[in-house]
Amino acid sequence: MGFITPLLRSILFGMPPMLSAVAMAFELAAYGFVTGILYKVFEKKNIFIYVTLIISMICGRIVWGIVSLALYGLGFSNSPFTWQVFFAGAVGNAIPGIILQIVLIPAVVIALKRGNLIYNE
């Protein structure tokens, strides 16, 4: 889901631009992959929801940076992919989304656990 969503949205609605959508697709796939692995590794205590979320966000941003660097390096964009571009895209412009994820995702996961709607062992 994470991989296909930005690509599909780019095709259907034109936003984000395809170059950004490709990098985002890999970023979101990394989120899902890392989250799935860490969910199996860590104890099912609420604190580990935050740990898993933060580690997954860091890994996803790194994957986004690597894919973006490759795409920019292959000449799909006329501008270079610098540390400033990486920081602006991975952190600076993403702060509202980071805060929203840290607030909402744990609340949703905890509610699902309380309702016995997700595996909790």
pLDDT in tens, the chain (121 residues): 999 999 999 999 999 999 889 999 999 999 999 999 998 999 989 999 999 999 999 999 999 999 988 888 787 777 888 888 888 888 888 899 999 999 999 999 999 989 989 876 6
User: Structure pTM?
Assistant: 0.86
Which residue in 97, 101, 94, 67 sits closest to 81, CA to CA? Answer: 67
Give the three-class secondary structure for 3. coil
3-state SS string over 79-120? CCCCHHHHHHHHHHCCHHHHHHHHHHHHHHHHHHHHCCCCCC
Rounded-to-integer distance, Cα 29 and Cα 6, Å: 11
So where are the chain's domains? Answer: 4-114
Which residue in 118, 60, 66 sits closest to 94, CA to CA? Answer: 60
